[in-house]
Structure 1
Amino acid sequence: MEILASRVLLRPADYDRSMAFYRDGLELAIAREYSGGTVFYAGQSLIEIAGHGASADGTPPFTGALWLQVRDLAATQDALRQRGIPIDREARREPWGLHEMHVSDPDGVTLIFVEVPDDHPLRRDTRG
């Protein structure tokens, strides 16, 4: 199988509220807009906020989490606070060596902001 492209598709209960969160709160750049939604750049991935397709009871079908790597986790945490975004779990170093902080989008989707320290195995060159 050859995968040509991918993105995370979210179907929020309230499109405008989620747009404000991702566009204004997180300040993600818009990759494209279409009549039924908006696609944002998220590093090497895309996040699409669809203006259609929420479940009948308003519960979003996505139950996972978004892993978003940032350069400076402390600065990211401060910036989100200044924009009024509540921090669900403060930035801290995890037992596996990454620095992580959690926030939730308006529908309860967990966003895990991650800083990879210089000494972490993800930064090591594994070529011989």
Structure 2
Amino acid sequence: MEILASRVLFRPKDYARSVAFYRDGLGLAIAREYGGGTVFYAGQTLIELAGHGAPADGAPPFPGALWLQVRDIAAAQEQLRERGVPIARDARQEPWGLHEMHVTDPDGVTLIFVEVPEDHPLRRDSRG
């Protein structure tokens, strides 16, 4: 199977509130809008909020988290605070070496903002 493109698709309970969160709170650029949906750029992927097909009451929450890499975690945290976005967990270095900060979107999805330090194995060329 050949995958040509991918994106994360959310069906928020309150479409307008979630668009405002991703557009104004996080400051993501809009890739495109269509009748009932907005697609945002998020690095090498896209986040789509669909205002149609909203989850039924009692639907299980998103089973995971959205991992978003940033260049400077401290600057990202400050920018989010300035925009009024609550920080669920302040930035800190994890035992595995990454710097991470957590934010929760209006539907309870955990967004993990990650800075990869210069000396981290993710930055090394593993081709030998």
TMscore range, shorter length: over 0.9
Displacement of 1:62 after TM fit? 2.4
Q: TM-score, normalised by structure 1?
A: 0.96
Instruction: State, as a whole percentage, how many aligned pairs show the same letter.
Output: 82
- Distance in 2, matches of 1:105 and 1:60, equals 15
Any conservation in 2 of the 1:103–1:112 contact (CA below 8 Å)? yes
Correspondence for 1:24: 24
Any conservation in 2 of the 1:98–1:114 contact (CA below 8 Å)? yes
Any conservation in 2 of the 1:73–1:114 contact (CA below 8 Å)? yes
Any conservation in 2 of the 1:11–1:61 contact (CA below 8 Å)? no
Moved over 4 A (4+): 58-61
Any conservation in 1 of the 2:39–2:49 contact (CA below 8 Å)? yes
- Distance in 2, matches of 1:103 and 1:32, equals 24
Displacement of 1:54 after TM fit? 1.5
Q: TM-score, normalised by structure 2?
A: 0.96
Tell me how large the CA RMSD over aligned residues is. Answer: 1.2
Correspondence for 2:90: 90
Correspondence for 1:52: 52
The range that moved more, 47-56 or 90-99, is 47-56
- Distance in 1, matches of 2:114 and 2:61, equals 24
User: SS state of the match for residue 79, structure 1?
Assistant: helix
